[in-house]
Structure 1
Amino acid sequence: MNATVGSSLPVHEVLVDIQPMKTMAALLGDPNPIHWDTRALAALGMGDRPVNQGPLNMGYLMTMLARWAGGRDRILDFRVRFLGNVLAGDLVRAEGTVTGLRATEAGRVADCEIALRIAGGEAVLSGTASVLIEPTRSDDDRAGLRHGPPDMKE
């Protein structure tokens, strides 16, 4: 991968759909109706579009990083701040910029500033990530025996 400081990561866009919100609420056992019940939203004065869960919003950023780096196991560090809500029907853009490159025992790592923005609007999540972009190859890697991140070999 040819990453340089200041280069942009490929943008990952998602049109936020209500169905994954309902599924996530069920999986998390989340009783908060703002994620799935439009009547409850209206009663609270919050409009008629459910609020997307934070883990789904973080997932959009992680998907962007994993696609760029070649897998979720390449995400070494991920830290975000929640700045606003994402609603059903919003088009969001996961984006990032390489802020530093460094060599580690695991290989070449890119440090990145990342953000999730509502298209045409402000950031709703912002943070940093460190991503392994060129792993150091070991004998196990060459033999196809690696089953996880470099620090989790069997």
Structure 2
Amino acid sequence: MSTVFSPSVGDELPRLVIEAVDAEKMKTMAALLGDSNPIHWDVDTVRELGMGDQPVNQGPNNLGYVMNMLGEWAGGAERIQKIRVRFLDNVFAGDRLEAGGAVTAIGDDGTVECDVWLARDDTHPVLAGTATLSLA
């Protein structure tokens, strides 16, 4: 027996929680992206820049958390048609994050519009935007 997935405007999306951002994964991602910015692995550089004492997570990782949340809710990341976000603040190693959102519109063509966000420590927004998904 299958369950019919029928979102409504105002529905909150199930949150995705990242208990602690992993500094080692930042190093791996920097290598994969060819990102030579030392703020992603060199704590001394982060300190010299006055940014604290933890490496800074890459923006694509932060966006990925939101996309994972959307994909889990919608039944697969391939349902994401468009996503637009603004990066509002840095994410650091060890930060606890939550990705979430809410349905804002439903189209006759099976598309769903959502506001999306990523927050640190339950309250501090680090990313916000919109996404369009196809549920048809």
Smaller-chain TM-score bracket: over 0.9
User: Residue 41 of structure 1: CA displacement?
Assistant: 1.4
Q: Deviations over 1:65-101 (max 9, x none)?
A: 0000011110011000011011100011100000000
Q: Please point out which of 116, 120, 131 is paired with 2:122.
A: 120
RMSD in angstroms over aligned alpha carbons?
1.0
Cα distance in 2 for residues equivalent to 1:46 and 1:114: 26
Matched residue type, 1:111: E
Greater RCO structure (CA 8 Å; 6+ sep): 2
Matched residue type, 1:124: V
Q: Give the match's secondary structure for 1:103.
A: coil
- 43-52 vs 86-95, greater mean Cα deviation: 43-52
Q: Give the match's secondary structure for 1:48.
A: coil
Name the structure 1 match of 2:107.
102
Matched residue type, 2:64: G
Q: Deviations over 1:6-56 (max 9, x none)?
A: 000000011211111101111111111101111221222222101100000
Cα distance in 2 for residues equivalent to 1:46 and 1:5: 39
| Pair 1:11 & 2:5 matched | no
| Pair 1:65 & 2:70 matched | yes
Name the structure 2 match of 1:37.
42
5+ residue gaps, structure 1 = 136-154
Percent identity for Structure 1 against Structure 2: 50
Q: How many residues align?
A: 131
Name the structure 1 match of 2:133.
131
Q: Are the aligned partners of 2:97 and 2:122 in contact in 1 as well (CA < 8 Å)?
A: no
User: Rg bigger for which structure?
Assistant: 1
Runs of 4+ in structure 1 off by over 6 angstroms are: none
Cα distance in 2 for residues equivalent to 1:25 and 1:124: 20
5+ residue gaps, structure 2 = none
TM-score by length of 2: 0.92
Matched residue type, 2:69: M
Q: Are the aligned partners of 2:14 and 2:100 in contact in 1 as well (CA < 8 Å)?
A: yes
Matched residue type, 2:9: V
